[in-house]
Amino acid sequence: MVRENEIRDNEVRIEAPERTDASLIFIGRIHTPWTSRLECPRQGRADGPACRIEIFEPWVEALDGVEIFERLEVLYWLHKSRRDLVKQSPANDGKTRGTFALRSPVRPNPIATSIATLIRREGNSLFVRGLDCLDGTPLIDIKPDRTLFTPIAPPQKGDFEVGDETSSC
């Protein structure tokens, strides 16, 4: 069963600082078949239902050229998630793991990333498969899948640097 807002046995909650370091703006909205957190997939599947990513103005022009990519990386904001757990018990059995060792929606900055398969573009909408979020989820970003993208800008010095066993910062 998904978490609503409860804290489970042995989970650890922290008091997050009240400061804000950066601000996001929602650039669109994701339409999916799932209206309850009790139905959402844990992970999207490449053969899952088609979902629609709607882009708001003034960002629609930024879709130009996106159709050439078979897969897109989609970033979205998990607006229903609490942000204050550092240890979690996904199976609700008292066994916990750190938040950074999980892909749980509960995180200090609740941003999800998925690789979606592009079906087609229609105007300000992209139809895709592979998402796992609630209907109405706010969109943060879309990028070409990293494995399909080659930088267009000329390479820089850092592109050729490799590390040795001992190098570190």
76 binds a copy of itself per the rule CB under 8 A: no
**Closest approach of Cβ 3 to a copy of itself, in Å?**
9
94 binds a copy of itself (CB under 8 A): no
Site residues for a copy of itself, window 40-69 (CB under 8 A)? 40-43, 45, 47-52, 55, 58-59, 61-66, 68-69
- Residue 142, both tokens: 């879309």
Binding flag, residue 4, a copy of itself (CB under 8 A)? no
Residue 82 is a binding residue for a copy of itself (CB under 8 A): no
- Report the distance separating Cα 109 and Cα 81, nearest Å: 9
Q: Does 15 bind a copy of itself (CB under 8 A)?
A: yes
Q: Which of 11, 71, 107, 137 binds a copy of itself (CB under 8 A)?
A: 107
Minimal distance in Å, beta carbon 110 to a copy of itself? 9
Q: Tell me whether the omega of the peptide bond preceding residue 58 falls within 30 degrees of 0, making it cis.
A: yes
Q: How far apart are CA 48 and CA 46, in angstroms?
A: 6
Interacting residues with a copy of itself between 109 and 148 (CB under 8 A): 109, 111, 113, 115, 127, 129, 132, 135, 138, 140-144, 146
Q: How long is the chain?
A: 169
CB of 123 to a copy of itself, least distance (A): 14
Task: Report d(CA 58, CA 95) in Å as an integer.
Answer: 46
Q: Please identify which residue in the block is written with the tokens 């897109």.
A: 72
For a copy of itself, the binding residues in 24-43 under the rule CB under 8 A are 24-27, 31-34, 38-43
Spell out a b/e string for 86-99, using b for 16 or more CB atoms within 10 Å of the CB, else e: bbbbbeeeeebeeb
Burial (0-12, 13-18, 19+ Cβ within 10 Å), 142: buried
**DSSP designation for 60:** G
Q: Does 19 bind a copy of itself (CB under 8 A)?
A: yes
